[in-house]
């Protein structure tokens, strides 16, 4: 039960819980760091489980439960806080902000479906993975913290609601989203996606953190274009 891989998954859950607490207390940079910690743990647990032959049904379920908190509840709280930031301008938003928790609800459905369906050797996910959704909203949070020019336009209430609705749908959709692999063949096949992602990552560091969100948007668009081309070839 308490294997190294499962303990790393537990770290994912721990970071998610602390990130939730930091968001409630409006310590946004601390929340951002915890989200990054959760993402690193989420990447490592599967890698360690395969390397040490510690894959198990318990680990699969534990991973999904951790993801619901770290990458479902946390993005919901991010949206809630972003909406509540406009409360002085729009007093009615306090009762409406609860729509933010549509994200963890749809994340739970997405993860439950993932657990019961046989994935096989497919090169794509069925629907947007929950961590990818979380990374998009993480980009919005960092831009909000930085109070950049973009934050005045991209975190307006009606736009945030649009994000919530579209990403809730993307998670439970059947759209083919390309899986990420660290291999020479994968990089060569998806070199456009790799270069675009690296450019966005550099831009997020040196220009504006909102480019973190652009990485996910580009990944979605590229996946749809690539899938459509593959269908035409077949």
The 10s digit of each residue's pLDDT in 63-91 is 999 999 999 999 999 999 999 988 878 78
Specify whether the CB–CB gap between 13 and 70 falls below 8 A.
yes
Helix (H, G, I), strand (E, B) or coil at 178: strand
What integer is the mean pLDDT of 40-46?
90
Q: Is the pLDDT of residue 234 over 60?
A: no
Give me 200's structure tokens: 């966005």
Mean pLDDT across the stretch 16-22? 96
Q: Residue 156: its pLDDT value, please?
A: 83
Q: Looking at domain 4-177, does it have CATH number 1.20.120.1760?
A: yes
Dist CA 85 CA 68 (whole Å): 24
Residue 103's pLDDT is: 97
Give residue 119's pLDDT band: very low, low, confident or very high (50, 70, 90): low
pLDDT tens per residue, range 22-33:
999 999 999 999
Give 95-118 pLDDT, tens digit per residue.
Answer: 888 999 999 999 999 999 988 876
Query: Residue 175: which H helix or E strand, with range?
Result: none
**Helical (H) or strand (E) element with 177:** strand 176-178
* Strand locations in 51-210 (E): 124-126, 176-178
Does the pTM exceed 0.85? Answer: yes
């Amino acid at each position: 039960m308490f294997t190294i891989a499962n303990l790393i998954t537990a770290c994912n859950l721990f970071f998610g819980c602390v990130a939730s607490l930091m968001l409630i207390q409006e310590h946004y940079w601390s929340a951002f760091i915890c989200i990054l910690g959760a993402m690193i743990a989420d990447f490592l647990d599967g890698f360690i489980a395969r390397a040490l032959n510690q894959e198990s049904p318990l680990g699969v379920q534990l991973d999904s439960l951790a993801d619901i908190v770290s990458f479902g509840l946390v993005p919901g709280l991010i949206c809630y806080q972003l909406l509540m930031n406009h409360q002085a301008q729009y007093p009615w938003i306090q009762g409406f902000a609860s729509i933010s928790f549509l994200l963890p609800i749809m994340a739970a459905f997405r993860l439950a479906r993932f657990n019961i369906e046989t994935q096989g050797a497919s090169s794509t996910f069925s629907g947007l993975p929950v961590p990818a959704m979380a990374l998009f909203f993480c980009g919005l949070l960092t831009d909000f913290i930085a109070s950049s020019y973009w934050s005045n336009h991209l975190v307006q209430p009606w736009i945030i609601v649009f994000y919530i609705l579209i990403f809730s749908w993307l998670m439970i959709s059947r759209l083919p989203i390309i899986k990420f692999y660290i291999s020479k063949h994968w990089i060569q096949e998806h070199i456009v996606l790799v270069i675009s992602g690296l450019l966005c990552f550099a831009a997020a560091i040196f220009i504006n953190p909102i480019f973190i969100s652009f990485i996910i948007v580009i990944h979605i668009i590229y996946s749809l274009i690539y899938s459509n081309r593959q269908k035409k070839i077949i």
